[in-house]
């Protein structure tokens, strides 16, 4: 999922959806990384519009636990463990949800956490498709606009292109800007915008280098905000 191993997309793919221990390989598109470095198989979230937050009576964490349990029944190797272990996963998930997740991501989880999407890429495809009907917040729009002004200032298609999901290319075609634009809450997006764009970004030359620098900066902010496992 990530454009670069140091980008936010890799870290979000490893942490945001409160999943279970995976291969531990940071290059695995289905792997997620917790704050202490453990890999987790799970997904991410993002959405705009407070109404979407109340679209289901069941919490994101409750939906996630049920999904992991049901998918584990179908896994030939017994499946995955919940982040921080069965006894502490719910408390960690609530902390993570408040610290990281957008309303759009919660909306996506409510739609996509089904046994049909137990495989990581299938789940991501469902999530990313859901963003086409989500409404970005002002902060999500602003972080994309700031990235475009910093890294692709002459491309007028940049703002729309960066939040669009190409269903033909699939979930591995998305980048760090797409993840920030949809799956992170406003507090994180505002911090990423002020820290990782404009004169604050040490980008080097060219669009690819600028995108990589943005992802590395945003990924660092993301990981710093991840909660530790409860004592």
| Domain assignment present for 128 | yes
Task: Answer whether residue 1 is part of any domain.
Answer: no
Sign of the Cα pseudo-torsion (85, 98, 110, 48, in order) = negative
Specify if 2 maps to a domain: no
Six-digit token string for 156: 């007028």
Bridge partners of 20, per DSSP, are 41, 82
pLDDT at 188: 97
**Number of structural domains in the chain:** 1
Residue 71 lies in a domain: yes
**CA pair distance 12, 33, nearest whole angstrom:** 8
Per-residue tens of pLDDT for the chain, all 231 residues: 223 334 667 666 555 344 433 333 333 333 333 333 333 323 333 333 333 334 445 899 999 999 999 999 998 877 788 899 989 999 999 999 999 999 999 999 999 999 999 988 999 999 999 999 999 999 999 999 999 999 999 999 999 999 999 999 999 999 999 999 999 999 999 999 999 999 999 877 899 999 999 999 999 999 999 999 999
- Domain containing residue 129: 8-225
- pTM for this predicted structure: 0.78
Predicted confidence at residue 14, as pLDDT, reads: 54
| pLDDT score recorded for residue 91 | 96
Cβ 24 vs Cβ 34: under 8 Å:
no
In a domain, 231, yes or no: no
| Domain-located, residue 230 | no
Give the CA dihedral 112, 103, 45, 180, nearest 10 degrees.
150
Q: Considering only CA atoms, give the Rg of the chain.
A: 16
- End-to-end CA, the chain: 31
Residue 3 domain flag: no
């Amino acid at each position: 999922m990530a454009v670069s191993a140091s980008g936010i997309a890799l870290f979000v793919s490893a942490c945001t959806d409160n999943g279970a221990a995976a291969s531990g390989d940071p290059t695995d598109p289905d792997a997620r990384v917790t704050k202490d470095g453990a890999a987790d198989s799970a997904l991410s979230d993002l959405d705009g519009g407070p109404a979407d937050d109340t679209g289901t009576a069941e919490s994101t964490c409750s939906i996630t636990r049920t999904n992991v349990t049901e998918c584990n029944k179908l896994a030939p190797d017994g499946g995955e463990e919940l982040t921080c272990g069965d006894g502490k996963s719910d408390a960690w998930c609530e902390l993570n949800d408040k610290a990281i997740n957008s309303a759009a991501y919660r909306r996506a989880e409510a739609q996509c956490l089904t046994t049909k999407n137990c495989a990581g890429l299938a789940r991501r495809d469902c999530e990313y498709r859901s963003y086409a009907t989500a409404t970005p917040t002002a902060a999500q729009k602003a972080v994309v606009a700031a990235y475009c002004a910093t890294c692709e200032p002459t491309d007028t298609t940049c703002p729309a292109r960066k939040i669009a999901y190409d269903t033909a290319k699939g979930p591995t075609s998305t980048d760090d800007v797409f993840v920030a634009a949809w799956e992170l809450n406003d507090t994180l997006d505002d911090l990423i915008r002020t820290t990782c764009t404009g004169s604050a970004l040490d980008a080097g030359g060219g669009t690819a280098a600028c995108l990589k620098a943005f992802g590395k900066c945003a990924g660092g902010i993301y990981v710093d905000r991840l909660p530790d496992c409860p004592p």
